[in-house]
């Protein structure tokens, strides 16, 4: 049964079905983490009406690569409650230095524009959820 038929009881041709499904796929885009830079990070954190999580990473960092899909999933899961973002430490050394990022991945937690917690090292999705819930959403 096609999408139109299941929704409206209307039969559809394969061409109609494919067109409707493609439109639905383009409308339902996943929320992705916001990429921050030296130029915009402080302003984004200051202007955010919700808490901000910043994943500090680098392209060569294997633990960062393991955490990346978790960060993507958290961006979708917390989309209306926490601004999930990423900072490439190789390209944004000013902010990396300001927040004394010595080990990556490092996760920075901001609330009301202020740094309130830092989590260093790769973490599971469950551990990150616990931190978000206890640190940012309390």
Q: What is the pLDDT along the chain (138 residues), one digit of tens a residue?
A: 554 454 445 555 555 545 545 544 444 457 899 999 999 999 999 999 999 999 999 999 999 999 999 999 999 999 999 999 999 999 999 999 999 999 999 999 999 999 999 999 999 999 999 999 998 887
- Is residue 64 flagged as an active site residue? yes
Report the chain's terminal Cα–Cα distance, integer Å: 46
Per-residue b or e along 5-23, where b marks 16 or more CB atoms closer than 10 Å to that residue's CB: eeeeeeebeeeebeeeeee
State residue 6's pLDDT score: 47
Is residue 61 part of the annotated active site? The answer reads yes
Q: Identify the pLDDT of residue 7.
A: 47
Q: In the chain, which segments carry CATH 3.40.30.10?
A: 34-136
**Which member of 45, 61, 74, 122 is catalytic?**
61
Burial degree of 31 (CB within 10 A; 0-12, 13-18, 19+): middle
Cβ partners under 8 Å of residue 82, min gap 6: 50, 51, 52, 53, 74, 132, 136, 137
Instruction: Kindly give the pairing relationship between strand 83-88 and strand 34-36.
Output: parallel
Whether pTM exceeds 0.75:
yes
pLDDT computed for residue 132 by the predictor: 95
Q: Given 3.20.20.70, 3.20.190.10, 3.40.30.10, 3.30.479.10, which CATH number is that of 34-136?
A: 3.40.30.10
CA distance 110 to 103: 18
Residue 134 confidence (pLDDT): 92
So what's the pLDDT on residue 19? 53
d(CA 120, CA 101): 9
Q: Are 36 and 87 in contact (CB under 8 A)?
A: yes
The catalytic residue among 41, 53, 56, 64 is 64
In the prediction, which pLDDT does 54 show? 98
Task: Write down the number of H helices and E strands in the chain.
Answer: 6, 5
Helix or strand or coil: residue 63?
A: helix
């Amino acid at each position: 049964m096609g999408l139109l038929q299941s929704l409206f009881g209307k039969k559809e041709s394969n061409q109609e079905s494919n067109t409707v499904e493609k439109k639905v796929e383009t409308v339902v885009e996943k929320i992705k983490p916001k990429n921050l830079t030296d130029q915009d990070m402080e302003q984004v954190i200051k202007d955010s009406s919700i808490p901000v999580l910043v994943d500090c990473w680098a392209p060569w960092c294997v633990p960062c690569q393991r955490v990346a899909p978790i960060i993507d999933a958290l961006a979708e899961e917390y989309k209306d409650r926490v601004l999930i973002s990423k900072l490439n430490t190789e390209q944004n050394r000013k902010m990396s230095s300001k927040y004394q990022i010595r080990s990556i991945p490092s996760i920075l937690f901001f609330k009301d524009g202020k740094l309130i917690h830092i989590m260093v090292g790769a973490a599971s999705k469950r551990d990150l959820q616990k931190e978000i819930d206890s640190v940012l959403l309390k």
